[in-house]
Amino acid sequence: MSERKGIVTVFGNAMTLLGNAVTVGQKAPDFVALDNDLNPKTPADYAGKVLIIAAVPSLDTPVCDVETRRFNSEASKLGENVHILTISMDLPFAQKRWCAAAGIDRITTLSDHRDASFGINYGVLIKELRLLARSVFVVGKDGAVKYMEIVPEATNEPNYDAALAAAKALV
């Protein structure tokens, strides 16, 4: 498994990302993550949709909370052909509790805690913390990565406008 250093920091501390880097234009890597009811989900479950996949370190942190709420509010403006996934290493039970408390009802939260297959396959698993680096991937209906951002400092928010524009351009 490849290791990449110097791409992200957490509170200014350099971290190591595990897995191969994803590039725009390539076929989106497959992964298996668990939904809030412990059902395995893969990208095939969302076939025919444009996907915005937002990886966050933990829903229970301030920036991840803000980001997930923002994508939830934007979801209704995107139409039925776009689906937003937020993936973290949080346990499915914690995700379900957090979503209920936060009123998250337009996006799907998935847990990568079991296998870290999303983190490894998308190259965003932080070795030192076993958390996902804050990142956003937009996958077209054809299954190819059309946009990606790995946020350099995990305590910063992603470029929402760029990700949303990339998704809107695909519908």
pLDDT band at 83 (very low <50, low <70, confident <90, very high): very high
pLDDT band at 1 (very low <50, low <70, confident <90, very high): confident
* Residue 58 in tokens: 């933990």
Task: Provide the pLDDT for residue 75.
Answer: 95
> Domains plus CATH for the chain?
24-113+132-168 (3.40.30.10)
Question: φ and ψ at 148, to 5 degrees?
Answer: -155, 150
* Cβ-contact 137, 148 below 8 angstroms: yes
Chain centroid to Cα 98, Å, comes to 16
* Cβ-contact 134, 158 below 8 angstroms: yes
**CA dist., res. 26 & res. 54, Å (int):** 18
Map tokens 């990208």 to a residue: 43
Taking the CA atoms of residue 159, residue 164, residue 117 and residue 24 in that order, the dihedral angle to the nearest 10 degrees is -80
| pLDDT mean across residues, the chain | 97
* pLDDT tens, residue by residue, 124-142: 999 999 999 999 999 999 9
* pLDDT tens, residue by residue, 31-68: 999 999 999 999 999 999 999 999 999 999 999 999 99
Active site residue 64: yes
Determine which helix (DSSP H) or strand (DSSP E) holds 163, and give its type and residue range.
helix 160-168
pTM of the model: 0.97
Tell me what the mean pLDDT of segment 102-116 comes to.
96
Question: φ and ψ at 64, to 5 degrees?
Answer: -65, -35
- Count of CB atoms within 10 A of residue 76's CB? 9
* pLDDT tens, residue by residue, 9-40: 999 999 999 999 999 999 999 999 999 999 99
Task: Provide the pLDDT for residue 107.
Answer: 96
**Catalytic position from the list 64, 87, 99, 126:** 64
